[in-house]
Amino acid sequence: MKNAASKYWRIPLDADRVKTPKGKIHILKERCKGCGFCIEYCPRDVLEFSDEFNEKAYHPPRVKDEKLCLCCHLCELVCPEYAIWSTEEKDEELHHP
């Protein structure tokens, strides 16, 4: 519900009937060089820097709230190290937008 006007506080009454794609994010922590492109460009603000260090002493990203991911693949397009990608969950489970 990013950027939605704060005027509408209610969870829409038809929200359980609306299907949105559900993404799963895969991160290869050891490849990450901590450039932060995926965090910066994610349109749904799904990612953030983690506190942990990888072998190269960078902070790899971690998923804040995977429910928000709509599997747009933008993170995988911008990652210079091919360290992150998303796949669409094909189960027919519905979830709230």
Partner 1 sequence: MAPRIGVYVCHCGGNISEVVDIQKVMESLEGPVDVVQIKDHEHICSEVGQKLILNDIKENKLDRVVIAACSPQFQGITFMKTMEHAGLSPYVLEMANIREQCSWPHYDYPQEATKKAIDLTKMSLAKARLDIPLEKKVIPIGKRVLIIGGGIAGIQAALDLGDAGFQVYLVEKDPSIGGKMAQLSKTFPTEDCAACILSPKMADVPNNPNIKLMTSTEVKDISGYIGNYQVTVTRKALYVDPDKCTCCDKCVEACPVTVPNEYDEGLTTRKAIYLPSPIAVPHSYILDDKTCLGLFPLACSKCKEVCEPNAIDYDVYPTEEKFTVDTIIVATGFDIYDARQKRVYGLGKYENVFNALEMERMLAYAGEGKPLKDIGNRIAFIQCVGSRDEQVEHEYCSRVCCMYATKLACLLNRERPGKEIYIFYTDLRAYGKGFEEYYKRAQSEGIKYIRGRVAEILEDPKTKKLTLRAEDTLSRKIIESEFNTVVLSVGLIPNEGTRHVAGLLGLSRSQDGFLKEAHLKFRPVDTLIEGVFLAGTVQGPKDIPDSVAQAGAASSRAISLMNKGVYEAEPITAQIDESICIGCGMCADVCAYKAIEITVVDAHTGKKTAVVNEFLCKGCGTCAATCRSGAADVIGVSDHQISKMIEVM
Q: Site residues (CB under 8 A) for partner 1?
A: 1-5, 7-10, 12-15, 18, 20-21, 41, 43-44, 70-72, 74, 78, 97
Residue 37 C-beta: closest distance to partner 1, Å: 11
Write the CA distances from 51 to 43, 56, 67, 87, integer angstroms: 22, 14, 21, 25
* Inter-residue contact 87 to 73 (CB < 8 Å): no
Tokens of 6: 């704060």
Nearest CB to partner 1, comparing residues 23 and 60:
23
Q: Which helix (H) or strand (E) holds 39?
A: helix 37-41
Nearest CB to partner 1, comparing residues 36 and 97:
97
Q: Which helix (H) or strand (E) holds 34?
A: none
Nearest CB to partner 1, comparing residues 32 and 68:
68
